[in-house]
Structure formats: structure tokens, C-alpha cells
Amino acid sequence: MKLTLGASEKLKSRKQITQLFDEGLSFKEYPIRLRFLKVDEADSQFKVAFSVPKRNFKLAVHRNRIKRLLREVYRLNKYVLTDEVENSFVLMFIYTDKIEWEYQDLEKKMILLLHKFVENQKES
């Protein structure tokens, strides 16, 4: 499996993002919230987006750094999802803390969150 995050895996559709927030469910592993929605697309198994609220980080430099860290953590650990889940999903990771976490701590939390998501999908 390639450890890349290509354009086909990025969530860009405004329609899908709106639908995700209207109909999607969520899990939280502080400081990351995962919103997800099952879709019927064969384009890519997972489409992902990353968000950092402007009210928590006023400067775009800080928001962009956190999004970069989240993308890297997801990219290196997405095998947890792709190996276990068969359906297609739209995912959005939202950073909720007001301070910037270290990469190692974010990685631990992301792995816990991904495992929580996989367990939920196995049950349903």
C-alpha cells in the first residue's frame, strides 16, 4: 500500500461537506474530532479533509501547521482504515484544542481515533 494522500483522496466537494455536517456522525479523541458519513462512491474509498477553527488559532500560519501535522499523521496511519473497512466514507478531522500539540502526541490520538472508528464499523 502506498503511503500517499493524493488528490482523489481529498474531500473538496461543498455538497459532500454540507451533507457530512447535516447527516454525519462523529467520534472524539481529544483534541481531534472525526466526522464521518458513509457514501456510495467508487472513486476513492476514503475522502478526507482537515480543519482547524479560526476562533482557536487566529493566525493562518498556526492553523496551516496543525493541518499539515494532521495530514501527515493520517497519511502514515491510514492503513488502519484501509485494511479493515470495506465501505466508502467521507471523513473530516477537526482539531479542537486551543494549543498546538506535538507530532508524537497527535499521532497517538489519531491512531486511537482510527481504531475507534474501525471498531464502530465492524459492529454495524
Query: pLDDT tens digits for 28-71?
Result: 999 999 999 999 876 778 999 999 999 999 999 999 999 999 99
How is residue 8 written as a grid cell? 482523489
Q: Which residues pair with 10 in a beta bridge?
A: 48
- Measure the CA–CA gap between 22 and 59, rounded to whole angstroms: 28
Which pTM does this prediction carry? Answer: 0.93
Whether residue 1 lies inside any domain: the answer is no
Whether residue 53 lies inside any domain: the answer is yes
| CATH code assigned at 92 | 3.30.230.10
Whether residue 21 lies inside any domain: the answer is yes
Question: Domain count of the chain?
Answer: 1
Q: Among the residues of 27-102, which ranges form H helices?
A: 60-77, 79-84
In which domain, by residue range, is 56 found? 7-123
Mean pLDDT of the chain: 93
Mean pLDDT calculated for residue range 10-18: 94
